[in-house]
Amino acid sequence: MIIDVLLFAAARDLAGQSVCTVQIAEEATVSDLRYELIRTCPNLKSMAKVLLVAVNNRYAGDSQVLCEGDSVACFPPVSGG
Amino acid sequence: MLSITPDPIDINRVTNAVRNHRAGAVVLFLGTVREFTGDLQTSSLNYEAFEEMALASLEQITFEARARWSLVESAVIHRIGPLELGDIAVAVAVSSAHRGPAFDAGQWIMDTIKQQTPIWKKEFYADGRAEWVHPVHAVPTPDSSRSTSVITSNESDD
């Protein structure tokens, strides 16, 4: 399936784009998505370890399985306030 | 009242949103843009939010706080876009029957926003440098609060 990953803040700046489209297998996990994301946007490699993933507006752990139509975002640790 | 907005924060509006006859205490917290963090001199900040998730996060945080401290009302406004020194970046207002829960809930809401709500600040320094501020060692777990520590203390509100 194809997923448009939204990028924010330093992740977007590093990637040079606000959306990164990745292709992953059916029943792929967040961990698989991370791998594909770095492969598709190699500039993100330097912050790969700190990147957070949110699926449908909730933080997602690496073992979470992705479904067709999921809304996925990837971003660095937050710093509001 | 929960809002992510590029407009200046109206502190009367956010305070009045939580005033209520059932409340004997109103606590308002303002996070403002500070000039000096140690030797670093800030000239301005720029905030960015993942708005859809940030609003969902604020809803979840205030829902939890209202239940935990039996709050009467709660309100959070976070500003995004360019901010100058002294500007209000965030306002948290809560009301409760007595002052103890209002102080505690206000502190907890602000701490939790800083850990969980997807908003980021880019700091522009007086020497011309600019950088995104973000904590390190953040561990994403979907089921519990994330523990974070901060690289430097250059935050607007503490």
* pLDDT tens readout for residues B9-22: 999 999 999 999 99
Tens of pLDDT along B64-85?
999 999 999 999 999 999 999 9
The number of domains in chain A is 1
Assess if residue A30 is contained within a domain. Answer: yes
Give percent of chain A with pLDDT exceeding 70.
100
CA-to-CA dists, residue A21 to A9, A17, A60, B78, angstroms: 17, 10, 18, 30
Chain A hits for B158, CB-CB cut-off 8 Å, are 81
List A20's β-bridge partners, or say none: A5
pTM of the model: 0.90
Question: What residues of B are in contact with residue A9 (Cβ under 8 Å)?
Answer: 48, 120, 122, 132, 134
- What is the C-alpha to C-alpha distance for residues B148 and B83, in angstroms, rounded to an integer? 25
Q: Which residue has the higher pLDDT, B148 or B25?
A: B25
Does residue B141 lie within any of the structural domains?
no
Q: Do A79 and B156 touch (CB under 8 A)?
A: no
Question: A9 and B48: CB-CB below 8 Å?
Answer: yes
pLDDT digits 0-9 by tens, B135-154: 764 444 444 333 333 333 34
Q: What is the pLDDT at residue B62?
A: 98
Residue B156 lies in a domain: no
* B62 found inside a domain: yes
Put simply, the answer to whether B134 touches A50 (Cβ < 8 Å) is yes
> How is B115-126 classified by DSSP, letter by letter?
HHS-EEEEEEET
Instruction: Determine, yes or no, domain membership for A81.
Output: no
How near does any CA of chain B get to the CA of A30, in Å? 12
Q: How confident is the model at residue B134 (pLDDT cuts 50, 70, 90)?
A: confident
- Interchain CB distance below 8 Å, B114 and A75: no
Looking at the DSSP bridge assignments, the partners of residue A19 are: A6
Contacts with A57 from chain B: Cβ below 8 Å = 52-53, 56-57
Distance CA B94, CA B68 (A): 13
Does residue A80 form part of some domain? no
Parent domain of B93: 2-133
B120 and A52: CB-CB below 8 Å?
Answer: no
- Cα–Cα distance between B146 and B149 in angstroms, integer? 10
d(CA A5, CA A34): 10
User: For residue B75, with 0-12 CB atoms within 10 Å meaning exposed, 13-18 middle and 19 or more buried, which class applies?
Assistant: buried
The tally of CA atoms less than 13 A away on the side-chain side of residue B17 is 18
Q: What ipTM describes this predicted complex?
A: 0.96
Contact A33, A53 (CB under 8 A): yes
- A39 is a domain residue: yes
Contact predicate A51/A57, CB 8 Å: no
| B50 assigned to some structural domain | yes
What are the pLDDT digits (tens) for A6-54? 999 999 999 999 999 999 999 999 999 999 999 999 999 999 999 999 9
Task: Give the pLDDT band of residue B87 (cuts 50, 70, 90).
Answer: very high
Residue A28 structural domain = 2-75
Q: Which residue has the tokens 């979907």?
A: B142
Number of independent structural domains in chain B: 1
Tell me the C-alpha distance between B51 and A11, whole Å: 16
With respect to residue A51, please indicate whether it lies within any of the assigned structural domains. yes
B132 reaches A (C-beta below 8 A) = yes
Give the CATH number for residue A10.
3.10.20.30
Query: Residue B101: which CATH number?
Result: 3.90.1170.40
- Single out the residue of B128, B91, B74 nearest to residue B11, CA to CA: B91
Residue A42 lies in a domain: yes
